[in-house]
Structure 1
Amino acid sequence: MSEPTTLLQAKQLSVIRGNRTLVDRADLTVHAGEIVTLIGPNGAGKTTLVRALLGLMSFNSGELVQQPGLRIGYMPQKLHIDPSLPLTVKRFLALGGSKLNAITDALSRTGAHHLLEQHLQALSGGETQRVLLARALLRNPQLLVLDEPVQGVDVAGQAALYTLINELRHELGCGVLLISHDLHLVMANTDTVVCLNGHVCCQGHPSQVTVDPAYLELFGHRAEAHIALYTHHHDHAHDECGELHHDHKDHPPHA
């Protein structure tokens, strides 16, 4: 089987501002068709690292490699719209020059086609996130970068959004880099977890990371509670090194 395409790779990436190291020698790789979830507490440097990966801010040392011509769809953490500005979803999504048929197709993919004529200010948290995800899809991305995609969404809506993201990566064959400080639900919808707290504490398949001493020390009782919730439904098995084996007859799924 051929090796998966590497879309983005950071090697020993550091971001320093003033006398403060925000991200220290981080390694991170995203392949096509893979969901990589970056987790960590508030202030861990997650958004800083992602902004450096996207070229939105400079890094001080290390190496960043992108697939040539890589198309990235970015979903920001928050949408700041002046409440006095009358802006419909259709007009908002057309700001980048997208045509109506592309807009309606993207909204349909995210289950938000009925919001086309709605004003942005009238949307719920879940509806806003689906519109922002549709905006990211308008670039026909090879890589989706989603910064806290379920922020402001209730628990049921969070589960639905993570399921949708999982479906989109299979449908589009794109890689997904997902940033979150939550542990539940995230673990069941990802292939690789990168735990960041200024530096990369640990990374690997969720079943490996959730028993890593660095992870347990960082998240404490929250980690233990969420390990119990973690179930990873997949059509492959992992050996002791975390390598994938798609013939899983002799390898029951992790629970």
Structure 2
Amino acid sequence: MKPLITFDDIGIEFDGRDLLSHINMAIHEGEIVTLIGPNGSGKSTLIRTLLGLQTPTSGRVIHHDKTRIGYMPQKLHVDPTLPLNVMDFLSLVRNVNKSQIPGVLAKIGIEKLAKKQVHFLSGGETQRVLLARALLNNPNLLVLDEPVQGVDVNGQVELYNLISTIRDELKCGVLMVSHDLHLVMAKTDTVVCINQHVCCSGTPQHVTGHPAYQALFGVPGAAESIAIYSHHHDHVHDENGDVFLTDTIEAGKMDTHVHGKNCHH
């Protein structure tokens, strides 16, 4: 796979404090890289550096093979008093050919949203519109900052599947920032865990087993040892509302032909 972006020993210092130190990593064509780390670990700073919005104190960002970046921010900020539908919003992208927009909307599966006002969009719809916006200039590298922000679990799974499908169709690289570790791991080729520096990197299986990852996020599967409450109905109600234990029924101590009612607790 050809490299699209290389971070060559990136360091960023601000007010005497290291925000990033000795960051070395690359994103390749056709590869999904997920960047993880605790709050304040430097993920946003690294993304700003990639986009050219932050100048590194040391090191350099190398763009290979005429890299074209499509960026998806965490959130959409539009003044609710501004009448702006999805088609008009996407038309604001610099150098976009308006005739491209319907095809991109169809690729994302949101062509029916073209005339909908952006401030009436649901969380999932908003994220899909932002993803469509990132695709408009035919990028070969997608940079997705928390792409499932504000989306329910089912919607998150759908979005991650969609991102994977887009990668397969366009053969583009994807750099994704995420806190949703368990869901995103299944759709990731490489995970890079940072906390001002690169703590560990590799396949999801390698990273989740690494002591540095476990120190930051805990041991995978630990949540499974926590008991989950499950309500077991050990009784029924007869037509008069009287309660009978199921053990009593099984012992033959009452008429099992009593019509039980649904129990709601």
Please say whether Structure 1 and Structure 2 have the same fold, judged by a TM-score greater than 0.5: yes
Residue aligning to 2:233: none
**Alignment counterpart, residue 129 of structure 1, candidates 111, 118, 127:** 127
Q: Is the 8 A contact 2:96 2:137 kept in 1?
A: no
Letter of the structure 2 residue corresponding to residue 125 of structure 1 = G
> Is 1:30 aligned to residue 27 of structure 2?
yes
Question: How far, CA to CA, are the matches of 2:3 and 2:223 in structure 1?
Answer: 30
Task: Say yes or no: does 1:210 pair with 2:208.
Answer: yes
Moved more, 30-39 or 45-54: 45-54
5+ residue gaps in structure 1? 229-255
- Structure 1 equivalent of residue 136 of structure 2: 138
Question: Is residue 149 of structure 2 the alignment partner of residue 151 of structure 1?
Answer: yes
Aligned residue-pair number = 224
Specify which of 164, 168, 171 is matched with residue 169 of structure 2: 171
Deviation at residue 145 of structure 1 after TM alignment: 0.3
Which residue number corresponds to residue 102 of structure 1? Answer: 100
Name the stretch that deviates more: 31-40 or 100-109. 100-109
Q: Is the 8 A contact 1:13 1:61 kept in 2?
A: yes
Alignment check: 8 A CA contact 1:183 1:226 kept: no
Matching residue of 1:161 = 159
Q: CA deviation at 1:225?
A: 4.2
Cα distance, 1:227–1:52 mapped onto 2, change above 3 Å: farther
- The two structures, once aligned, show a CA RMSD in angstroms of 1.5
Counterpart for residue 5 of structure 1? 2
Q: Aligned partners of 2:32, 2:223: CA distance in 1, in Å?
A: 19
Structure 2, unmatched stretches of 5+, are 226-265
Paired AA for residue 178 in structure 1: M
The amino acid that maps onto 1:154 is: D
How far apart, CA to CA, are the structure 1 residues paired with 2:65 and 2:185?
Answer: 30
- Report the alpha carbon displacement of residue 110 of structure 1 after superposing the two structures with TM: 1.0
Rg comparison, structure with higher value: 2
- Of the three residues 189, 192, 204, the one matched with 2:190 is 192
Report the 3-state secondary structure (helix = DSSP H, G, I; strand = E; otherwise coil) of the residue aligned with 1:43: coil
Q: Distance in 2 between matches of 1:11 and 1:69?
A: 18
> 1:226 Cα shift?
7.5
Secondary structure, counterpart of 2:192 in structure 1 = strand
